Amino acid sequence: MSKQETDWDHDMIKQFQEDFLEWYHLEKRNLPWRATNDPYAIWISEIMLQQTRVETVIGYYYRFMETFPTIEALANAEEQKLLKVWEGLGYYSRARNLKAAAEQIVHTFNGQMPDTVNDIRSLKGIGPYTAGAIGSIAFGLPEPAIDGNVMRVVSRLFCIESDIAKASSRVVFDQKMRQMMPENDPGAFNQAFMDLGSRICTPTSPNCQECPISQYCLAYVEQKQTDFPVKSKKAKAKDVYFVAAAIEDAGHFLLTQRSASGLLASMWHFPLAEVSKSEYQQLATLWQKEEQPGQLDLIAEESTPTIFPELPVIWQKRHFGEVTHLFTHLKWHILLFYGRKGQQFPVEIGEWAAEDDFEGYVFPKPQQKMVAQLKKYQKLDKDF
């Protein structure tokens, strides 16, 4: 196509739909949630896929559906069991919202997934994208499902200069998607955009030679692919600093549970204490790791007021290194210390658990990383 118009006529839209859907049905990814029209299964997969790679989701999806095969089973789930099944996926509010929405469905919709976009949108944790995905895939509603992949593809198709980082720009992409959306097979149409954006029309190196719709793409015609989408830079995550204590007593480690609200709500980890950046750097320097762990004195004197001064602990003379974890707006830096329980230790401060029993606790990703770090040093230190 030698000339590209930003507004397509009826014939061009029809041809685009046919070409794009033909490619999708030939090349679509073989994913477990695409083998069903069950709106519950589609809903679970779409929530899991938020901020998470497809390859990671597949195993979690199977486990989740085996554990909670129905909406009613999810509505009746114990929170700790639910979080355990979700453990490692992150963004745990997604799991809690799923349960809350399942309870809504049971009480308001007689246990059946609602089949209109407005009713789907009324469920906890479901926004425009997820409602569009469920509505189009499960119920055949001609509703766009607009995520980052879709906005990238559409912005290149029409050289749209609206900043995709701004919520106000969504209406521009919504209008374009509705102009292109077929009444037949809208779910496949939405998924075609998802597949194209994740496999071919990628952020930095779009593979235009393999693209089934490059002849429709204004950015390709004008060789401006990498100019789109327009996206302002998001704010850098704030650095937050902690010290953590792997405190052992006869093969058991102290675990503390977070409050029922806020970040990582109700989850378990080693005792954590937030410190300033300067305190963190000072501790990292003063308690520097030794080059040869097997040659150091394992246990330090019981005189270390800077690390959990309220806990009587006999500390090891060095830290076990840094663990970092990036949340959406925060970056945690955790300096891990090891110690053994001293005399007159507070009774009601947490729970003591053997490593073999860790599976019974819901650990957030930072805690999983700390456990891995601890095990690394257990192997290094023969007399640990």
Spatial distance between the Cα atoms of 28 and 37, rounded to a whole number of angstroms: 16
User: pLDDT tens digits for 237-269?
Assistant: 999 999 999 999 999 999 999 999 999 999 999
Listed as ranges, residues in the chain with pLDDT below 50 are 1-5, 291-299, 301-303, 305, 382-384
Q: Which token pair is 128?
A: 């425009």
Cα separations (Å) of 261 from 3, 49, 216, 292? 56, 24, 49, 42
Quick one: pLDDT at residue 384? 45
Residue with tokens 């007399």: 383
Q: What angle do CA 208, 229, 200 make, to 5 degrees?
A: 30
Burial degree of 115 (CB within 10 A; 0-12, 13-18, 19+)? middle
Spatial distance between the Cα atoms of 237 and 183, rounded to a whole number of angstroms: 42
Pick the CATH number of 10-227 from 3.90.960.10, 1.10.340.30, 1.10.357.10, 2.60.40.10: 1.10.340.30
Using alpha carbons only, how large is the chain's radius of gyration in Å?
Answer: 26
Kindly give, in sequence order, each residue whose CB lies less than 8 Å from that of residue 280, ignoring residues fewer than 6 positions away: 241, 242, 243, 333, 335
Quick one: pLDDT at residue 289? 56
pTM for this predicted structure: 0.83
Quick one: pLDDT at residue 2? 35
Quick one: pLDDT at residue 303? 47
Indicate the domain borders of the chain: 10-227, 238-380
Quick one: pLDDT at residue 226? 92
Exposure string for 228-257, b = 16+ CB within 10 A, e = fewer: bbbbeeeeeeeeebbbbbbbbeeeebbbeb
Coil, strand, or helix at residue 2? coil
Spatial distance between the Cα atoms of 57 and 45, rounded to a whole number of angstroms: 8
* CATH architecture, domain defined by 238-380: Alpha-Beta Complex (3.90)
Cis peptide preceding 206, ω within 30 of 0: no
Per annotation, catalytic residue among 46, 103, 143, 248: 46
79 is catalytic: no
